[in-house]
Amino acid sequence: MSGRNHYGARPYARRRRTGRCARCQETKRLQARGCCGACYEALRKTGDHIDYDRVHRSSEDLLVDYEHLRSAGLAHDQIAARLGYANGNSLTATLWHARRRVQAVAA
């Protein structure tokens, strides 16, 4: 299965966040490690990408942040937007994986 709908398009294509690139300082769509696509590819080819920290939230922090915002009365889609997710579905999937990771560590 290709992950595409019957029109040939991806129904939930991943949208990358926009921000200031850590390397060139231009505002672009970010690829990985806080860098735009061109800068990340150049860094990856030379092996220098390891000098840039990964940009992510730990599973434990995500679950704590989600529960805090939920207890404050925010709806799921509002929480997704506040935490920087494209939509509620991507947050739902990430929460599912985070809960599995936390359970695996606790077991």
**Angle subtended at Cα 17 by Cα 13 and Cα 20, rounded to the nearest 5 degrees:** 150
pLDDT band at 77 (very low <50, low <70, confident <90, very high): very high
> Which segment of 26-30, 51-55, 64-68, 75-79 scores lowest on mean pLDDT?
51-55
- DSSP class per residue in the chain: --S--TTSS-TTPPPPPEEE-TTT--EEEEEETTEEHHHHHHHHHHTGGGGSPP----HHHHHHHHHHHHHTT--HHHHHHHHT-SSHHHHHHHHHHHHHHHHHHH-
Indicate whether this model's pTM tops 0.85.
Answer: no
Residue 86 has pLDDT above 80, yes or no: no
Q: Which tens digit of pLDDT belongs to each residue from 4-38?
A: 656 665 555 555 677 899 999 999 988 888 899 99
pLDDT at 58: 84
